[in-house]
Structure 1
Amino acid sequence: MIQIFVTGGTFDKEYNMITGELFFKDTHLSSMFERGRCTLDIDLKTLMMVDSLEMTDDDRSIILHNCRRSKSKNILLTHGTDKMVATATYLAEQGVADKTIVLTGAMIPYAFGTSSDGFFNLGSALAFAQMLQPGVYVVMNGRYFDWDKVRKNRKTGFFEEIE
């Protein structure tokens, strides 16, 4: 079984056509799994709906607690891209033994349809969560990165490996 924890981020944002603002309503994950014809054994739980720029260490401790408590050895977190590496670092430094934890997100909300990278990132993250060794990883743009060897390039909008 793959444990999936929703934490928010652009992935799950909606667009208010009147105000032009992005906001949270509900996660899109269930409909994404249906649309993708996912047959994996998953357990989906929403922990919070937070923009990662507003995420605190208290929020991260909730994520850590749930990762430790999960019976699953394979965990996927949907997360905002701005602070995804900070959360990956927090989880790795706090230690979650014998579990594979993959963080993924989207640069464009899933609600924006075919222009969103969310669907692709979710599929990639599910695959990597099943095959990677225990540890903490960031999965974006079809690639996986070790938690301590990745950064978001704010000029290109892509995640990249660092040495």
Structure 2
Amino acid sequence: MKDLRIIVTGGTIDKVHDTRVEGLSFSPDGSTHIPEMLRIGRCHFPAIELLMLKDSLHFDDADRDAIAAAVTAAPEPAIVITHGTGTMGETARFLDGRVAGKTVVLTGAMRPFSLYASDGEFNLGGAVVAAQVLSPGVWGVMNGRVFPAERLNKNVEQGRFDA
């Protein structure tokens, strides 16, 4: 089994319903739901690094550079990145070729973990397993499927990821 690190960058998976604005936002205390999700799944071994909590629609190349630097600096050979679905494919393609020698898997959710019937736990569990068994490279795991970086695309009309 490969040692594994989860790098948290934000996205819907980590949002909560904010009654002040009647919409979704990140927790006011700056916390992530990832430790709770792992605890529920009795998954105790990954290191967790909270890099940022940001909506990926607002990512720029500086954010992606920070993600690439975190991946490169991590001692673990397997990395899961929690990420917003809006630009997940763009970030995967940005990282591809910049983080050689590691297995990097991006994942996220269409519905926040904090709300009923989230896909977040399913996707995170799939990503944790995939990062341990896939060959080095950049991948995405969403909706029970594994995609290489170049084919990781969100189908907004269908509400899922398709090749």
When the two structures are superposed, what TM-score results if normalisation uses the length of structure 2?
Answer: 0.94
Match for residue 38 of structure 1? 43
Mind listing any 5+ residue stretches in structure 1 that lack a counterpart? Answer: none
Query: Is the 8 Å Cα contact of residues 103 and 134 (structure 2) preserved in structure 1?
Result: yes
Tell me the CA shift for residue 111 of structure 1: 0.3
Query: For structure 1, which segment, 142-151 or 128-137, has the greater mean C-alpha deviation from structure 2 after superposition?
Result: 142-151
Distance, in Å, in 2 between the alignment partners of 1:61 and 1:138 is 18
Q: After superposition, what is the alpha-carbon deviation per residue over 1:27-63, rounded to whole angstroms, capped at 9, x for unaligned?
A: 1011111111114x21101000000000111011000
Aligned match for 2:123, one of 112, 121, 124: 121
Aligned match for 2:76, one of 72, 78, 81: 72
Structure 2 residue 161 is the aligned partner of structure 1 residue 159: yes
Match for residue 22 of structure 1? 24
Does the residue aligned with 1:148 lie in a helix, a strand or coil? Answer: helix
Mind listing any 5+ residue stretches in structure 2 that lack a counterpart? Answer: none
Distance, in Å, in 2 between the alignment partners of 1:149 and 1:55 is 20
Match for residue 95 of structure 2? 91
Query: For structure 1, which segment, 25-34 or 98-107, has the greater mean C-alpha deviation from structure 2 after superposition?
Result: 25-34
Q: Residues 95-114 of structure 1: matches in 2 within 5 Å? A: 95-113=98-116
Distance, in Å, in 1 between the alignment partners of 2:104 and 2:53 is 19
The residue type paired with residue 38 of structure 2 is F
Distance, in Å, in 1 between the alignment partners of 2:50 and 2:22 is 25
Query: Is the 8 Å Cα contact of residues 88 and 152 (structure 2) preserved in structure 1?
Result: no
Does the residue aligned with 1:31 lie in a helix, a strand or coil? Answer: helix
Tell me the CA shift for residue 18 of structure 1: 4.4
Query: Is the 8 Å Cα contact of residues 92 and 152 (structure 2) preserved in structure 1?
Result: no
The residue type paired with residue 54 of structure 2 is V
The residue type paired with residue 88 of structure 1 is A
Aligned residues: CA RMSD: 0.9
Match for residue 142 of structure 1? 144
Determine what percentage of the aligned residue pairs are the same residue: 44
Distance, in Å, in 1 between the alignment partners of 2:60 and 2:20 is 30
Does the residue aligned with 1:110 lie in a helix, a strand or coil? Answer: coil
